[in-house]
Every structure is written in structure tokens, then in C-alpha cells.
Amino acid sequence: MRISTVALLALLSLPLRAQTPVKLKVDATDAARRLFHVQMSMPARPGPMTLLYPEWIPGEHGPTGPIANLVGLKIQAGGKILPWKRDSDNMYAFHLDVPSGAATLDVAFDFISPPESGGFTSGASTTTELAVLNWNQLLLYPKDSQPDTFQYQATLTVPTSWRYGTALPIQRESGNQLEFQPASLTTMVDSPVSAGAHYHTFELGSEQGASHYLHVAADSDRALEASPELIGHFKNLVAEAGALFGAHHYRSYHFLYTLSDHVAHFGLEHHESSDDRTGERTLIDSDALRASGYLLPHEFVHSWNGKYRRPSGLVSGGHDGGYDTPMQGDLLWVYEGLTNYLGEILTPRSGLWSPEDYRDSLAETAAELDNKYGRTWRPLEDTAVAAQVLYEAGSDYQSLRRSVDYYPEGTLIWLEADVAIRQLSHGAKSLDDFCKLFHGAPSGPPALKTYTFDDVVAALNAVQPNDWAGFLNQRLHSTSARAPLGGIEHGGWKLTYDAVRSDFWKAREETRKITDLTYSIGILVSNEDATLADVRYGGPAQKAGIAPSVKLIAVNTRQYTPTVLREAIAQTAAGAKSLDLLVKNGEFYQTFRIDYQGGEKYPHLARDPATPDLSTAIIARAARK
């Protein structure tokens, strides 16, 4: 079904390890108690054997397989318990001896789905009303098996009356039991299942012969009541992605959209689906929708950019023998950065954002990167190389750390490339042409085509000759204090600041429960407990001596509220003499005087009449009605 060239050669030259699929039974009826029960019946040969639990999870760019939550492991052959021993170096490997005469191993374990909201798929994934299952958490595979050819035949039991969605083809359904068609390890890991008591599947239409579905699992029925207009925007997204790439690399596509305030919030891409998770009321609350509008477009783009086309260093499982192989993230500014840009322009093209929302989001991205001390020590490329540790790093001192900036700075760099192509070709070409060339025809089932830096440069040059290697290298290795704003400026807009919060900014503050004063006094306050989630390095508050994580108690002797603080900051522009903050640092109270006179400041893009407006052309609808 999905046999890559390398795997095919391996298949021809090595003895076949598993013609008989592993029978994999997952009982998810205890999902509300965060327990999944797993039984596997696996073909085996007498002698030493090593079973692996997936460690490097595709799309998570790090060793995030939640091995600590695999419990109750029991392995038997012919009804007899076999002792196993975990490898002393590799926590994901279990060694055992298969006795003579045994042709099958019976493996059982439980997986504890965690309650915490951090992490990606290893974060909270169940409530009493719903569950998201990722097969990489629910299976083991023999070391040295080829993920593209090693087969599983899975059955899944979900709680009674729950409904479900997945890209994994189903052979048979009866009651709350699902039997899937045999699928390779690669396809299993790539095909999560969502299920729940409050569930609705919206059909998003067909594009070039492939069907598209939006499966929504939520903590309430009310949360499923998306307006026909909103569903129309998701249908537009399918059409706009079709117009952008001109071909697809899936049999059908399934958005698995989970709406809950009690699961981890993120998106994770797959070839034929995406695991997208936001707050419960996202589809019925315009602020929540505005703040996360880019999420489904981003994950959908990954089917082309990330899954079909992937940097060779980010292939795990597909080619080289398993999910125990470390990934190399140095091209994540393409994998994630280009996806970020394309997802953000597909959002207004689909109607999920207004043009103003798009520009307000871009202004926020530009301001964030243009006020980041960390860019003077860490070149962008290092954020990509270090991705496997940065996702888990602390969220304080962001401006000093400079974390996974290949996402937002990818947006700026690829916008600049798009604008440059449009200008150099006098409007004849755009980055859409690059997408058709690099990610497009022919359409077909999931396939993997790896690339290098030179391949990206060659494809850009095929669309529009330019010194693209120089263009990219300069931006990847720069330690300039200023962000690359050329795409915004040459596209006819300027980054400005004023005292007015945009609708996008307010929606973001509301949804994330923050008061964001990053560009005035340089603090980000968490509304739930009044702690400083962050302090901008080099900003007025940091210069006054304030650190992240302290609790804000009072502003100019009055008890802190977001309104009291905003008004006090506004007063500084009207000549107020001082701005004093009383904070609690551990058990100790401290007062700091902030040297600041600028009033409230929030970023915007303003039209520059001296330069033609390319930005509006970039976000204009491209698909035919």
C-alpha cells in the first residue's frame, strides 16, 4: 500500500519477518478512567527477540513516546509467562527469549493516558465524554522490522454508544467494536482515532476524487453546533488547498477535531488526517475561533509539506528501521515554517479569518520576533536543530531563549520569498507555483519524497531564478537584533504600534486567559493567578528588576486587576509621574518603579501607500467557486 523505494529493496533482500499481521486488540471502554487495555498476538521465531515501543514520534520532532505510561507488561508463549528485561540504555526496548517451538507471542499491557495538559499526544487525551487514541502508544513492534511493510490487524472497542472517526480503513463494525483492515506500522502510527459521546461528522466535499471529513468530538452536544457558514469555510479550505497544490497524497482526508477544556491543546499532522484539539466552545465562540483559526489549515497543509515532502533528517519509521532512530530538525524552517506561512494564508483564503484578522496575526508575529533579544545570540537555524529539546523547555524568558522560532519566523521568511517571486516575475509567478512544483502532481495514496536544502533551492530557482541559497542562508544564520520584515514592507505594509487592541489581539488574550503588555512595559500576565507568565528581556519591567513567575499584587498602591494595570500604563503617556508594581516573589514582597512613558502599545500593520499592496493579492481566494 505504501512501500517506499528503500523499504521495497529491503523487502526483496531480507527474509520476511511478518507475513501474518500482528493481531492488536485495544479495549478503550475504560477511557474515562484514562486506561487503555492492549493485547497483541505477534508472530515470533525461537531465539532472542527485542520489542520496541515507539520513541521518536513523527510530527512531534522529538523522543516523546510516553514510555513511562506503559504498565502491566506481560509476555507469554504457549500459555507460559516469559521473563523480559528492559535494555539498560534504551528505555524503549524489551529483551526476551522466545522458547523453541513457539510461533506466536501473546503480549498484554495497559497504557495510562495522562491527566496533564502539556506535551503533544502524550498529554491529556481523554475525558469522561471523549478520547483520542494514538496507536504508537498502544503497540510494540519487533526491532529491525520494516515499518512500511510490518502489518497489524487492529480491533478497537469503544465505550457503548460512542461514535468515532479515523483515516484507518475499517473492515467491519458491530456495536461498539471496530475491526480495521490490515495496515502497516507506518500507517497505524499515522492514523489516530477519535471517539466520543458527543460526536458529529461533517462532510466537506470531494476534491479531485478524494473525500474530506470533519469529525468533531466534544464535551457537550452544544459544542457541535457549528453554523452552516462556518462549515462552508472548512469546505472552502479543502477547495483552496486543492487549488494551491493542484494534487493530493491521500485516499481520503479526516480532520479529527477534539473540543475540550480538559485535553492538551495542539495540532498533530498525518498523511490522511490530523489530530486537532482546542477548547470546548471553539466552534460556537467567535473569539475562540479567531484565536485558533489557523490550526486546521496548518495541519492540513502538512499532508503535503511534512508528510509527502519531508526533510530526510525527519524521517522516522518510514525508511530506516523504526521509531528508535533520532531525528534531525535542521530543515524545520521548511517543514514547519513553510507550513505556518501556507496555513496562515489559506485561513483568509477560506474565510476562516477576515483579511484584518490575517494582518493582525501577522503584526503579532512580526512584533514578537522584532522584540526578541534571543535573536542576537541564536541564529534561526539553531532553533530548528535544537527542536527536540525546545518543545519541552520552559515558557519563561521566551525573548531571551528564542524557542521554536522556525514557526513564526518561517512565516516571515516565506512571505518574503513569495513577495520576491511576485516582484521578480512581474506578477506572473508566486509561491503557489512553487507549491504545485514541489508538493503537487501526481495525486495518489500516501507517499514520501524526501528533500534536502539544495532541493528546496533548486525548486525555487525553477519557479523564479534568484540567489535563493544566499537569500535563505543569510536569514538562517543571522544574529541581527531585527526580524526579517522585508515581506511585509515590500508587500506594501508597515509594522506599527498604537494604544488600540485589535479584535485578533483581544480574542487571543481572552482565549489564552492573559493580559499581554509585552510591547509597553514588557510583561505577560496570566489572568488565572496574576503571575507574570513572562517578562520581555530588555523591556522596561525587566530593566527595573522584575522576573517571570512573580505574582502581581498592586499597581501604584491599588490592588492589581488587568483594567487597573492597563489604565496606569495608559496614564504614563499622559505624563503620569510613576508606575510602581508591587509583586510577590516566593514569600517576599518587592516594589519596583518602572521607567516608562509610552502608554499602551499593541502591534498592527498599516498600509504604506508608496508600495503596491501584494499582501491583499496573496490572501485572495484562489479556488473557483
State the minimum distance, in angstroms, from the CB of residue 275 to Zn ion.
12
Torsion of CA 551, 557, 563, 568, to 10 degrees: -110
C-beta of 248 vs 298, nearer to Zn ion: 298
Smallest gap from Cβ 333 to Zn ion, in A, equals 12
Q: Write down the least CB distance from residue 336 to Zn ion, Å.
A: 5
Q: In what order do the strands lie in the sheet with 93-98?
A: 85-86, 93-98, 47-52, 141-142
166 phi and psi, to 5 degrees? Answer: -170, 160
> Please, what is the minimum distance in Å from the beta carbon of residue 339 to Zn ion?
5
The pattern of x and - marking residues 482 through 521 that bind Zn ion according to CB under 5 A reads: ----------------------------------------
**Number of chain residues interacting with Zn ion (CB under 5 A):** 2
Helix pair 453-463, 431-439: axis angle to 10 deg: 130
Applying the rule CB under 5 A, the residues between 319 and 358 that interact with Zn ion are 336, 339
C-alpha cell at 341: 506561512
212 versus 270: smaller Cβ distance to Zn ion: 270
CB atoms within 10 A of CB 358: 24
Nearest-approach distance from CB 301 to Zn ion, in angstroms: 8
**Cβ 407 to Zn ion shortest distance, Å:** 7
Nearest to residue 49, comparing CAs of 140, 165, 124?
A: 140
Q: Are 55 and 63 contacting, i.e. CB atoms less than 8 angstroms apart?
A: yes
Nearer to Zn ion, 403 or 572 (CB): 403
DSSP reduced 3-state for 228? helix
Residue 241 cell numbers, joined: 488547498
Sort 53 into a burial class: Cβ within 10 Å, 0-12 / 13-18 / 19+: buried
On whether the CB atoms of residues 72 and 106 are closer than 8 A, the answer is no
Asked if residues 191 and 182 have their Cβ atoms less than 8 Å apart, the reply is no
- Of residues 281 and 309, the one with the C-beta less far from Zn ion: 309
Partnered with residue 256 across adjacent β-strands are 215, 275
Of 329 and 603, the one with the shorter C-beta distance to Zn ion is 329
In this structure, are residues 242 and 623 in contact, taking their beta carbons and an 8 Å threshold?
A: yes
Residue nearest to Zn ion (CB): 336
At closest approach, how far in Å is the CB of 276 from Zn ion? 11
Among the listed residues 188, 181, 155, 152, the one whose alpha carbon sits nearest the alpha carbon of residue 19 = 152
Of 219 and 336, the one with the shorter C-beta distance to Zn ion is 336
Would residue 427 be called left, alpha or beta, if left means φ above 0 and alpha means ψ between -120 and 50 degrees?
A: left
Binding mask 132-151 for Zn ion (x = CB under 5 A): --------------------
Question: Is 106 or 344 the residue whose CB approaches Zn ion more closely?
Answer: 344
Q: How far is the CB of 306 from Zn ion (least distance, A)?
A: 7
Shortest distance (Å) from residue 270 CB to Zn ion: 11
| Contact mark string toward Zn ion, 283..322, x via CB under 5 A | ----------------------------------------
Cβ-based nearer residue to Zn ion, 336 or 360: 336
Judged on CB neighbours under 10 Å (0-12, 13-18, 19+), 203 is exposed
Q: Which is nearer to Zn ion, 186 or 339 (CB)?
A: 339
The three grid cell numbers given for residue 513, joined into one nine-digit string: 486567559
Partners of 178 in beta bridges:
156, 173
Least separation in angstroms between residue 298's CB and Zn ion is: 6
Q: Please answer whether residues 30 and 344 qualify as being in contact, where contact means their C-beta atoms are separated by less than 8 angstroms.
A: no
Answer whether the bond into residue 43 is a cis peptide, omega within 30°: no
Q: Kindly tell me which of 113 and 305 has the beta carbon lying closer to Zn ion.
A: 305
State the residues that interact with Zn ion by CB under 5 A: 336, 339
